[in-house]
Amino acid sequence: MTLDEPQEITLICQDGVKLAGRRWIRKNGNEKETRVLCLHGWMDNCFTFNRLADGLLRKIPSSTGLDIVALDLPGHGLSSHKSLDGPSVVLADFVYYMYDALQSLNWETANLTVVGHSMGSSVALMFAAAFPLGKLIMLDSLGPQTKPADEISKSVLAHIKARIQGKPPSSVYPDLDTAIETRCLTATVFPGNQYISRETAKALVERASIIREDGQLEFLHDQRLKWPSLLVLTDAQLDQLYMDVASHPTETCLLTAQDGMPFPPDSISRIRELLQPKVVESLPGSHHFHADPDTADAVVDTIVSFIS
């Protein structure tokens, strides 16, 4: 058995977009292998899965080969930005890039495990509705955000107004510590009692930034990701996604964080009824419970039990 350190990878998509990421490979001398694709949340990057990947390598029996890939979605981390005509429909675009990445990896979907965190979970859910997966693991997300049908036109208007104003300026900070402190503070403004550990914030910032010639730190994110989405799903459309995934042989696991997104009880009931997940658990921690050092082990243990 060999245990490789994470390797930086680059996948070139059909439209020329470069997808960066990390890959962990454990060979065990036979053909039995578990393949795992990890998709991060909005304005995060593949480093959010460093601790999770290490945990899977430690806790999944060595008799099982492992191939884990965590991607930087377009406009995030070290991946390239889309051309000037986008992104306008972010989730739909990312579903395409997920498909393109799997083609580049030569991975079939039927036996694939996909771990999605937050926005990455929404991407994975939409993909799984069209392409059956082996297993789908959703971390602190119930899927794409929805709006009432009579508010869809407002989303279109908000997107057009933002797009006319142009690309927002990049975020710049005087040094790494200030950027990390800001990232930690940003987590607290989201709904609920959210927070992020300094260790996790540091990893995410370092992956997604450069030090300029003047010594200041500049984020690499495509700032157009801050534009409001052009298209937003309704509750009925999200329900249909749940039912489409449930109609496939895909096994699903829903893990929420006790101090993460404050999901309404009726939304939890709806996903239980329509998606019919095999596992539903609320675990200690906040929105990045899979990445924060004090809470990641519980997430890893639950995932290992689910996929074993």
- Cα 251 to chain centroid distance, Å, stands at 18
- Provide the CATH number for the domain formed by 2-145+230-307 in this structure: 3.40.50.1820
Question: Does residue 19 carry a pLDDT above 60?
Answer: yes
User: Phi and psi at residue 292, in whole multiples of 5°?
Assistant: -70, 135
- Whether 87 has a pLDDT exceeding 70, the answer reads no
Stretch 128-146: mean pLDDT: 98
Structure confidence at residue 13 (pLDDT): 94
Say what the pLDDT of residue 1 is. 42
Residue 173 sits at φ, ψ, to 5 deg, of -130, 155
- DSSP E strand boundaries for 208-250: 209-211, 217-219
For residues 164-176, give the mean pLDDT.
Answer: 90
Q: Is the pLDDT of residue 76 over 80?
A: yes
* 139's tokens: 């971390």
> What's the mean pLDDT in 51-70?
95
> What local confidence, expressed as pLDDT, does residue 275 receive?
99
> Does the N-terminal peptide bond of residue 87 adopt cis geometry, omega within 30 degrees of 0?
yes
**pLDDT surpassing 70 at residue 85:** no
Report the percent of the chain where pLDDT is more than 70. Answer: 96
Phi, psi values for residue 125, rounded to 5°: -65, -45
Annotated catalytic residues are 118
Share of the chain above pLDDT 90, in %: 83
Q: Which of 187, 190, 224, 225 is nearest to 205 (CA)?
A: 187
194-252 pLDDT tens trace:
999 999 999 999 999 999 999 999 999 999 898 888 889 999 999 999 999 999 999 99
Domain coordinates of the chain in residue numbers?
Answer: 2-145+230-307
- Quick one: residue 175, left, alpha or beta (phi over 0 = left, psi -120 to 50 = alpha)? beta
Arithmetic mean of pLDDT, 254-276: 98
Please state the pTM of the whole predicted model. 0.96
Q: Which of 2-16, 61-75, 99-113, 144-158 has the lowest mean pLDDT?
A: 2-16
The answer to whether the CB of 229 falls within 8 A of the CB of 155 is yes
> Which DSSP letter does residue 146 get?
B
DSSP 105-142: HT--STT-EEEEETHHHHHHHHHHHHS--SEEEEES--
